[in-house]
A and B are shown apart, each in its own frame.
Chain A
């Protein structure tokens, strides 16, 4: 399509503008964290890393990291396990209740999370469950299992069932087929699903707010500090949580690309 080069240019320019718009707050957080003073006044007169030092020395903050990572880790393991089978039912097998099942899986995603958090609070209280990081894991899963099911499903759609049939015909048993054919072929989807699970749990606020009880995650702590008044500790932690999400995601993506290249090379 040679007839629209200026259009391509306009689309590029617009997209880059949107990207800047998306990352502007992160840049502001970073700038605000690099000051020596107690208050935020721009342009910054005295640059420094004082608040980074103070934040990382704090034991309270370390405990927050542990809670957040613990929750996100457990959520990842459980979500990927359940969602793997869920995705096969979603995209691989043609069965009677499938259309209905697909819609049920989507419902929790299309649902306001603050209301979902409150609903879970009521449910836990009706059951007499004590709120802690464990109930938060359950709450995160309600939203994350459907998301991961979708992410893995997209990979499953491109999976050719004939590969499994061929392995069966060659005399492999069910476990062998699963381990040697299904799992490696679906691996990129499972891996992205795991990344999504971890990161969505890591950044979640509305579900944690009502279901963690006395335990606190990083987004909850940040919210409490924001409401209480300004401290440069908030930009520091905000920058850390943004940067760690970016590094995990970019690293994961690099791994997938490297794996694809290696496979392509070994097939040549």
Chain B
């Protein structure tokens, strides 16, 4: 459903008027802080004020240093997370949109609840499950006498943790996307003799694309910003870019360097988000009931 095609002058100004509180708030709370980060990133090393003459030395430090390794780890593990999530979530999205019927909203609720528990706490639950003498290994040992090494503190478990934490961010947009495919179109294709694979490739995939791509984008962006999974589950096996940034701000007390790293991360994320969001009609995605 699209909003009322109401194009009188009165409505035009009404819309802008209603948007004003959000816009003012986001200018103060989102745009200004990002400008502050950019401002700090051109300050001399280890200064805490923002009114020194600007310099690019922090960017030189970043580009000549080893931060690119952390960048690559963050980006590649996030990409792996997105790929795994796509495979896990697609059948569930199909179910929520087409199969579960009246159970659908209850199940959606079940998938929502973990979102409201801080990710540290949930990571900690996994530690209790996976650690030596924990729920999994302890049970194996006492029931079957099998002793195994813990899976904790490896690269694999970092991706596992990210898959776990960001699952709802892939699932919900994907479900919106899948429910955008009209049933009649699929039935018509089947009646015309299309195979299941053809219907998937020619109808399901293109028509659900907006929701699917938004799910990819959202989980990728959040996974690039992940830090708890690396610290709590990964035991510092791999250092992500967010960790470099945090170190610069805390132990190193070098705010300008941390700000320069943040600016680069913001550039990567921002470009991606703007490129993708520009292509979609948000009304069509969100407006469906």
Of A48-56, A57-65, A242-250, the one touching chain B: A242-250
Contact yes or no, B32 A204, CB < 8 A:
no
Q: Which residues of A contact B4 (CB under 8 A)?
A: 92, 94, 161-162
Contact yes or no, A226 B258, CB < 8 A:
no
Q: Does A223 contact B (CB under 8 A)?
A: yes
Q: Which residues from 69 to 128 on chain A have a C-beta closer than 8 Å to any C-beta of chain B? A: 81-83, 85-86, 88-99, 101-116, 118-123, 125-126
Could you tell me the distance between the alpha carbons of A168 and B7 in the complex, rounded to whole angstroms? 18
Q: Does B114 contact A (CB under 8 A)?
A: yes
A85 to B: closest C-beta gap in Å: 4
Contact yes or no, A22 B114, CB < 8 A:
yes
Q: Which residues from 110 to 152 on chain B have a C-beta closer than 8 Å to any C-beta of chain A? A: 110-126, 128-129, 131, 133-135, 137-139, 142
Could you tell me the distance between the alpha carbons of A158 and B259 in the complex, rounded to whole angstroms? 43
A171 to B: closest C-beta gap in Å: 19
Q: Which residues of A contact B6 (CB under 8 A)?
A: 93-94, 161
Contact yes or no, B48 A125, CB < 8 A:
yes
Q: Which residues of B contact A218 (CB under 8 A)?
A: 118
Contact yes or no, A153 B121, CB < 8 A:
no
CB nearest to A218 among chain B residues: B118
Q: Which residues of B contact A234 (CB under 8 A)?
A: 124
Contact yes or no, B117 A245, CB < 8 A:
yes
Of B53-61, B63-71, B218-226, the one touching chain A: B218-226
A158 to B: closest C-beta gap in Å: 5
Contact yes or no, B12 A113, CB < 8 A:
no
Q: Does B109 contact A (CB under 8 A)?
A: yes
Contact yes or no, A202 B116, CB < 8 A:
yes
Contact yes or no, A150 B112, CB < 8 A:
no
A154 to B: closest C-beta gap in Å: 6
Contact yes or no, B29 A141, CB < 8 A:
yes
Q: Which of B91, B139, B222 interacts with A11 by CB under 8 Å?
A: B91
Could you tell me the distance between the alpha carbons of A178 and B33 in the complex, rounded to whole angstroms? 35
Chain A contact patch, size range: 35 or more
Contact yes or no, B259 A122, CB < 8 A:
yes
Q: Does B30 contact A (CB under 8 A)?
A: yes
CB nearest to A31 among chain B residues: B135
Residues 171-208 of chain A, each 1 if its beta carbon lies under 8 Å from chain B, else 0: 00000000000000000000000000001101111100
Q: Which residues from 38 to 97 on chain B have a C-beta closer than 8 Å to any C-beta of chain A? A: 39-40, 48, 50, 88, 91-92, 94-96
Q: Which residues of A contact B258 (CB under 8 A)?
A: 118
B96 to A: closest C-beta gap in Å: 8
Q: Which residues of A contact B286 (CB under 8 A)?
A: 91, 150, 153-154, 157
Given contacts A89-B18, A94-B6, A122-B255, contact A18 B167 (CB under 8 A): yes
Q: Which residues of A contact B120 (CB under 8 A)?
A: 205, 219, 222-223, 226
Given contacts A85-B21, A110-B218, A253-B109, contact A200 B116 (CB under 8 A): yes
Q: Does B245 contact A (CB under 8 A)?
A: yes
CB nearest to B123 among chain A residues: A25
B273 to A: closest C-beta gap in Å: 5
Contact yes or no, B26 A145, CB < 8 A:
yes
Contact yes or no, B19 A43, CB < 8 A:
no
Contact yes or no, B128 A245, CB < 8 A:
no
Taking A102-B282, A126-B39 as given, write out 19 further A-B residue pairs in contact, using a Cβ cutoff of 8 Å, ordered by the A residue number.
A15-B96, A42-B134, A82-B21, A82-B22, A93-B18, A96-B15, A101-B19, A107-B30, A110-B221, A110-B269, A112-B222, A114-B246, A115-B225, A118-B245, A157-B289, A161-B3, A219-B120, A234-B124, A241-B121
Interface residues of B (CB under 8 A from A): 1, 3-7, 11-23, 25-26, 29-30, 32-34, 36-37, 39-40, 48, 50, 88, 91-92, 94-96, 99-100, 107, 109-126, 128-129, 131, 133-135, 137-139, 142, 164, 167, 217-218, 221-222, 224-228, 232, 242, 245-246, 249, 255, 258-259, 262, 265-266, 269-270, 273-274, 277-278, 282-283, 286-289
A-B contact pairs, 19 of them (CB 8 A): A14-B91, A26-B117, A26-B122, A29-B121, A40-B134, A42-B133, A82-B22, A93-B12, A94-B5, A94-B6, A103-B274, A112-B269, A114-B225, A114-B245, A118-B245, A122-B37, A219-B120, A234-B124, A242-B113
